[in-house]
Amino acid sequence: MTSSESGLGVGASLRRKEDARFLNGQGRYVGDITRPGMLEVAFLRSPVAHARLRSVTKPAGAESKVFTIDDFPGVGTIRANSALPGFRISEQPVLAKDKLRHVGETIAACVADSRAAAEDLAALCELDYETLPAVFDMRTATLPETALVHDHWSMNAFLETRRDDDVSGLDAIAAAKVTRTLKTSRQSMAPLEGRGVLAEWDSRLEQMIVTTSTQMPHVTKSGLADCLGLDEGQVRIISPDVGGGFGYKGILLPEEVVCASLARRLGRPVRWIEDRFEQLSASANCREHHYILTAWADKDGKLLGAECEAIVDAGAYSSYPFGACLEAAQIGSILPGPYVLPLLRCHTVSACTNKPPILPYRGVARTGVCYAMETTLDALARKLGITAEAIRLVNLVPPEAMPHRNLVGKVFDSGDYPESLRRAVKAIDIPAVRKRQAAGETVGVGFATFCEQGAHGTSVYHAWGIPFVPGYEQSHVRLSPDGVLEVRVGVHSHGQGMETTLSQVANEVLGIHPSKVRVVHGDTALTPYSTGTWGSRAGVMAGGAVAEACRQLSVRIAAIGAALLQVSKDDVVVEDGKVRRKDTDSSVSIADVARTWYRAPQNLPRDVDKGGLEITAGYRPDPDTGTHSYAAHAVIARVDTDTGEVVLEDYVIVEDGGKLLNPMIVDGQVLGGLAQGIGTALYEEMPYDEMGQPLAGTLADYLLPGSSDVPDARLEHMETLSPWTTFGQKGIGESGAIGPPGAIINAINDALASIGAEVMDLPATPERVLAAIHLAKSGKQ
Amino acid sequence: MSRISISLTVNGETKEVQTEPREHLADLLRGTLLLTGTHIGCEHGVCGACTIEIDGVPARSCITYAGACDGATVRTIEGFDDDDVMAALREAFAREHALQCGYCTPGMLVAARDVVLRLPDADEARVREEMAGNLCRCTGYRGIVRAVLSVLAERKKGA
Amino acid sequence: MKPAAFEYARPKDWSDALQLVADGARPGTGTQSLGPLLNLRLAQPETIADLRHLPDYAGVTVAGDVLRIGAGTTHAAIEDGIVPGRVGAIMAAVARRIAYRPVRNRGTIGGSLAHADPAADWVAVLPALGGTAIALGPKGERRIPLAGFVLGIFETALAEGELLRAVEVPVLPESARWGHWKFCRKVGEFSKATACLLRVEDAAPRAVLAALDGPPLVIEDARALVADPTGEAARVVGEVEGLTPWRSAVAQAALRHAVEAAT
């Protein structure tokens, strides 16, 4: 019996091991942890978007409880420099020094026995500053007369990138050309738990121990050590249960550096827990893109080329580790999407504005790029008089071309892209929609097809210039004397269920029951270094590393087991938690092997591997250009032309994530991503006014989709294995959030086609939809 | 700064606690009574993570202040161990993959238990409406809705 | 953010409560509307007088053809049918769509009215039902028609030192027709436009348009609206100042839908 047949290994929808503690209120998040003598921190934050800071006056009598940057002379700034040529360097002070560059920027830290009392102190501080014009619009940020966010720069741009294929001849040969101007809104990733930091200095170990809500503890450790001037061994990061990440918990925070500095200076543990107002108004945001996209096609809809002017609002600082340019710099490389695109001309700008830094949110740039490409494709189809399905089918990379290298050098590993669309077309009731349209209803159907590069490694990120390039991933496995397997990984699980799936991987290789596998993560002192959980990489990378470590351990277990069975190691197999003789049923358990190593070494074979039952193994897929999961989304949307309200009636996703390590968990990832994608498409928006003030400070203003806003989506899976990964699995964690805006806006535009209206900007709020309808109607008059 | 002394019954035990009037019940439960299963998600009454039972009905502990709870009976996620409906919901939540990061889960369960007991005939649309006051950023709600519906169905069959 | 410091007081009786308010205390009941403002430090009262334990503050009494609903009656109690008859049925349906059940369990009808958020539900519905606010001041009770109760954002006709003690709503015949429509993108969200229409035999239909950032607009004689919903909605909404085109469109839709529902 193989492990998957036992229903416990790779491919099993095993219930999650982490659920019991969460269901009983026993999860342990940063905010649940206290220390004796702990002080609470509240930050005095910038009330304005752009100003020259003249002075901060501490409250009389409380000077010793309020700290500005002058109180931390040795603390460095946060930097994340792109390796791409032309990058302009920003230095993010952990507490503002002489300039304020976005609302909510940290200015002073106030400590007290309670958070409320610390906030009282912050309210008593006095600020003297000279307000400067706010750079709030990325489209005008780079104009010459605009105020400079960083005084020594020549323009408000971190970076520009270009790809210059010659598209000048396409007008002459194309049957259709369309240009669309499209915008996605600035968003907050809004995990239910915000950030939070508890810092304490261990004088015995001379170590800064920082418990923090992060999805990449090791990278945070490196960044923190650098800012604090400590060596990396002097920083230990513990990331306990983390209440959702989505990219939000992937940067080094000024608050982390300040809390650590305070803990050192005060000799007491200090804690800061981000509240929702801080998260929405002061902390990093995501997703704000602007596109002018032109596409040319022949009469069948086959793409001849595309030209794109893209701007990403990267905010005021290049945040560590991803930097300010990750999104814009990859737009050119992901614009072709899953299609065969012969020519691409693309110019991108990472604009610098007086807003919080931008962070890669689930889907990163793909959500915006997919939105731009998919809506533009539909516009082409409408112009050519062909269907949305038809234009995609002629352009999708065909299965016989796999593996396929596209014009920008991306290598697609495997899959049948057109088949995913055909299945989605079959699953959604297009004839019913057409019938209702004929009867005058404003209802429409929309599609989006895309592929998602996941677990891409050194070769890809190096080219994108990000300062922290991922390489190999390690896992450490240790067989305990009682036969329990400890699996230590440097990635972090914060909802992805990796305590379960990695147990399944171990079970797949060693046959140890998942309940006897303990997955340890979230502590840099206990786990191998890792670039962390992001980029849809953990299932492939940590899954591969755990499998490799277990495989190597299996060889050592087999050798000891064979000795106990008094046969050659070639005559045994390790399976089902046992070492079994191939020729008979006699066996010893893995627990027996462990006991022998630890407690009865007299019984070990003479040539036993002295490394024992602990192994650290590394893994990298080969090639490391990434897996490509792909999907077709199909949605039916109804539009109320009186109010502009959009109702999603049906939603179908046909997804190929290669081998699914745990199908239940993969479904959960896709459905969760879908809800976030619906948020991007219809609800979520962090508006800024002309003073650079954020206008949504609560979840009553920043609307997250609720249970009645998300349809009961239908999911279908294809399972084309990736030829490059351990089990054929592909990264799929972000996929669900990529397709919805394109599919939904296409459905809305299909519904409005009879009116001639088209929605361009996200989210498609009732106000925007109605404005599009009114515009079309007034144009006709 | 004024401090007050209040008495409240928490998960069956009477507690006398010193607090400030401005402290909200969620902070009191978490900080003073170390009942950290009640989570704080927004402190504006919107997200539902802090939902607990006050005097027998679900309420937002982040906008209910300490003084107002003097004499109240409170039940948190830690206080449902002998409750059949909660046991059924926990089982259903695990089976339907109705949680990921776990942060919304305690409040979600308290709200769901109320729906099950108060609206035995609720259909999917009603469950979605009634659960809309508890935000989940991870699951997309399908598992949550299915879990609640499955417990409703089990109880109907058992009735 | 945590609230600025405040004192907590729990008055034993109404004269105690009036004294507290006279001394500057802010009345609080469920703090379901006040709480978010406290937690953002947008409201910084010195003292909160918790009215919830006052005698007769919650509950419904019937006197002849008038229902008297204690200001401390929760939305949940109304949702569950504490108000009898046709009025109760109307109010239960409205209550069900106020915020979320855990909020309705502590939020009260009087607290919501006195808070006077223009987008709140009772602010729109009670004037349509012909309700009256019963205010209690140092000199005793005073009756304020709810049609003129909310004067603006967070502004009511309550005088300094007055408390909202109850609301009175006339009993309606079972034949009364009622339409209520509000625009919320999400369940429990504050309305962006609300309209109500009450039709009782032998009386002019009464309509209310609310949630437009100001006091509710009460149309005591809405016969024209019933006769020509589209035209009259456009005319009525057209007279409201400061609406964006979208808000105007939604407000008109609200009036049309309310008429349709009451037909």
Per the omega criterion (within 30 degrees of 0), is the bond before A321 cis?
yes
Could you list the residue range(s) of the whole structural domain that residue A62 is in?
A: 33-132+189-281
The tens digit of pLDDT for each residue in C117-138 reads 999 999 999 999 999 999 999 9
Closest to C114 in 3D by CA, of C30, C23, C238, C19? C30
Return residues 5-44 of B near A (CB < 8 Å).
Answer: 20, 22-23, 30-31, 35-44
> Which residue out of B29, B30, B32, B142 would a mutagenesis test of the A interface target, given it has the greatest number of A Cβ atoms within 10 Å?
B142
State how far Cα A167 lies from the chain centre.
Answer: 33
**A17/A97 same-domain check:** no
The confidence score (pLDDT) of residue C115 equals: 96
Tell me the residue type at A326. L
Pairing of strands A473-479, A485-489: antiparallel
Does residue C197 fall inside a structural domain? Answer: yes
Average pLDDT over residues C57-79: 97
SS3 C210: strand
- Say what angle helices A663-678 and B142-158 make with each other, to 10 degrees: 120
For B133, which of C1, C39, C188 is closest by C-beta distance?
Answer: C188
**C78/C149 same-domain check:** yes
Closest to A375 in 3D by CA, of A770, A772, A682, A761? A761
The tens digit of pLDDT for each residue in A63-99 reads 999 999 999 999 999 999 988 899 999 999 999 999 9
Q: Residue C27 pairs with which residues in a beta bridge?
A: C49
Using CA coordinates, name the residue in chain C closest to A121.
C4
Tell me how far apart the alpha carbons of residues A689 and A9 are, in angstroms, rounded to a whole number.
53
Would the pLDDT of A595 be above 70? yes
Give Rg (Cα) of chain B: 16
Q: Residue C194 pairs with which residues in a beta bridge?
A: C182, C210
Tell me how far apart the alpha carbons of residues A224 and B10 are, in angstroms, rounded to a whole number.
41
ipTM: 0.98
Tell me how far apart the alpha carbons of residues A778 and B62 are, in angstroms, rounded to a whole number.
48
**C45/C65 same-domain check:** no
The tens digit of pLDDT for each residue in A718-774 reads 999 999 999 999 999 999 999 999 999 999 999 999 999 999 999 999 999 999 999
The confidence score (pLDDT) of residue A533 equals: 87
Does residue A155 fall inside a structural domain? Answer: no
**A748/A652 same-domain check:** yes
The confidence score (pLDDT) of residue A469 equals: 86
> Hey, is the C-beta of C35 within 8 angstroms of any chain A C-beta?
no
Tell me how far apart the alpha carbons of residues C172 and C89 are, in angstroms, rounded to a whole number.
10
Does residue C2 fall inside a structural domain? Answer: no
Would the pLDDT of A4 be above 60? no
The confidence score (pLDDT) of residue A242 equals: 98
**C31/C93 same-domain check:** no
Sheet holding A157-164, edge to edge: A157-164, A344-351, A303-313, A289-297, A176-183
Q: Are the Cβ atoms of B24 and C103 closer than 8 angstroms? A: no
Does residue A348 fall inside a structural domain? Answer: no
CATH no. for residue C107?
3.30.465.10
**A13/A55 same-domain check:** no
Task: Give the global pTM.
Answer: 0.97
Average pLDDT over residues C20-45: 95
**C100/C29 same-domain check:** no
The confidence score (pLDDT) of residue A461 equals: 83
Tell me the residue type at B97. H
Per the omega criterion (within 30 degrees of 0), is the bond before A623 cis?
yes
Both tokens assigned to A124: 């008593």
Q: Provide the number of structural domains found in chain C.
A: 3
CATH no. for residue C40?
3.30.43.10
Does residue C37 fall inside a structural domain? Answer: yes
Both tokens assigned to A395: 């352009």
The confidence score (pLDDT) of residue A46 equals: 98
**A116/A231 same-domain check:** yes
The confidence score (pLDDT) of residue A468 equals: 80
Sequence-separated (6 or more) residues with CB below 8 Å from residue C139: none
Does residue A345 fall inside a structural domain? Answer: no
CATH no. for residue A106?
3.30.365.10
Measured CA angle at C230 (ends C224, C232), to 5 deg: 35
Give Rg (Cα) of chain A: 27
Tell me how far apart the alpha carbons of residues B89 and A23 are, in angstroms, rounded to a whole number.
9
A412 membership: H or E segment, kind and range: strand A411-412
CA distances from A174 to A309, A332, A394, A408, C229 (A): 20, 22, 15, 22, 51
Query: What percentage of chain C carries pLDDT values higher than 90?
Result: 98
Using CA coordinates, name the residue in chain C closest to B47.
C100
Using CA coordinates, name the residue in chain B closest to C105.
B59
The confidence score (pLDDT) of residue B1 equals: 61
Tell me how far apart the alpha carbons of residues A688 and A188 are, in angstroms, rounded to a whole number.
13
Closest to A520 in 3D by CA, of A484, A553, A551? A484
Q: Which residues of chain B have a pLDDT value below 50?
A: none
Tell me how far apart the alpha carbons of residues A239 and A212 are, in angstroms, rounded to a whole number.
5
Question: End of a domain among A594, A619, A644?
Answer: A619
Tell me the residue type at A3. S
Using CA coordinates, name the residue in chain B closest to A35.
B31
Residues of chain C contacting A642 with CB distance shorter than 8 Å: 249-250, 252-253, 256
CB A539 within 8 A of CB A491: no
**A523/A600 same-domain check:** yes
Does the CA dihedral C154-C158-C159-C162 come out positive or negative? negative
Does residue A310 fall inside a structural domain? Answer: no
**A274/A413 same-domain check:** no
CA distances from C124 to C128, C129, C166, C214 (A): 7, 9, 17, 11
Confidence of residue C160 (pLDDT cuts 50, 70, 90): very high
Mean pLDDT value across chain A: 96
Residues of chain A contacting B105 with CB distance shorter than 8 Å: 22-23, 27
Q: What string of DSSP letters covers chain C?
A: --PPP-EEE--SSHHHHHHHHHTTPEEESS-TTHHHHHHTTS---SEEEEGGGSTTSS-EEEETTEEEEETT-BHHHHHTT-S-HHHHHHHHHHHHTSS-HHHHTT-BHHHHHHHT-TT-HHHHHHHHTT-EEEEEETTEEEEEEGGGTEEETTEESPPTT-EEEEEEEE---TT-EEEEEE--SSTTPPPS-EEEEEE-TTS--EEEEE-SSSS-EEES--HHHHH-HHHHHHHHHHTSTT--HHHHHHHHHHHHHHHHHT-
Would the pLDDT of C88 be above 80? yes
The confidence score (pLDDT) of residue C258 equals: 98
**A587/A644 same-domain check:** no
Measured CA angle at A535 (ends A530, A539), to 5 deg: 70
Could you list the residue range(s) of the whole structural domain that residue C110 is in?
A: 60-170
Closest to C89 in 3D by CA, of C147, C168, C176? C176
The confidence score (pLDDT) of residue A780 equals: 65
Pairing of strands B4-10, B73-75: parallel
Would the pLDDT of A6 be above 80? no
Question: End of a domain among A569, A600, A619?
Answer: A619
CB B61 within 8 A of CB B15: no
Sequence-separated (6 or more) residues with CB below 8 Å from residue C34: B63, C26, C28, C43, C48, C111, C115
Closest to A86 in 3D by CA, of A287, A344, A309, A350? A350
**A609/A635 same-domain check:** no
Residues of chain A contacting C3 with CB distance shorter than 8 Å: 116
SS3 B24: strand
Closest to B53 in 3D by CA, of B116, B10, B104, B89? B10
> Which residue out of A110, A279, A643 would a mutagenesis test of the C interface target, given it has the greatest number of C Cβ atoms within 10 Å?
A643
Query: What percentage of chain A carries pLDDT values higher than 70?
Result: 99
Residue with structure tokens 């323009």?
A: A155
Domains of chain B, CATH where assigned: 4-79 (3.10.20.30), 84-158 (1.10.150.120)
Confidence of residue A5 (pLDDT cuts 50, 70, 90): low
Pairing of strands C194-199, C177-182: antiparallel
Does residue C1 fall inside a structural domain? Answer: no
Range with lowest mean pLDDT among A532-536, A597-601, A654-658, B42-46? A532-536
**C106/C158 same-domain check:** yes
Tell me how far apart the alpha carbons of residues C107 and C101 are, in angstroms, rounded to a whole number.
10
> Which residue out of A21, A40, A192 would a mutagenesis test of the B interface target, given it has the greatest number of B Cβ atoms within 10 Å?
A192
Using CA coordinates, name the residue in chain C closest to A705.
C186
Does residue C29 fall inside a structural domain? Answer: yes
The tens digit of pLDDT for each residue in A495-551 reads 999 999 999 999 999 999 999 999 999 999 999 999 888 888 899 999 999 999 999
Tell me how close the Cα of B146 comes to any Cα of chain A, in angstroms: 10
The confidence score (pLDDT) of residue A1 equals: 38
Question: End of a domain among A233, A260, A281?
Answer: A281
Does the CA dihedral A123-A125-A126-A132 come out positive or negative? negative
CB contacts < 8 A (A, B): 170
**C65/C154 same-domain check:** yes
**A439/A582 same-domain check:** no
| Tally of CB atoms within 10 A around C154 | 14
Length of chain C: 263
CATH no. for residue C206?
3.30.390.50
**C65/C160 same-domain check:** yes
Phi/psi of residue B148, nearest 5 degrees: -65, -45
The tens digit of pLDDT for each residue in A214-235 reads 999 999 999 999 999 999 999 9
Would the pLDDT of A2 be above 60? no
The tens digit of pLDDT for each residue in A146-184 reads 999 999 999 999 999 999 999 999 999 999 999 999 999
Would the pLDDT of A606 be above 80? yes
CB A81 within 8 A of CB A323: yes
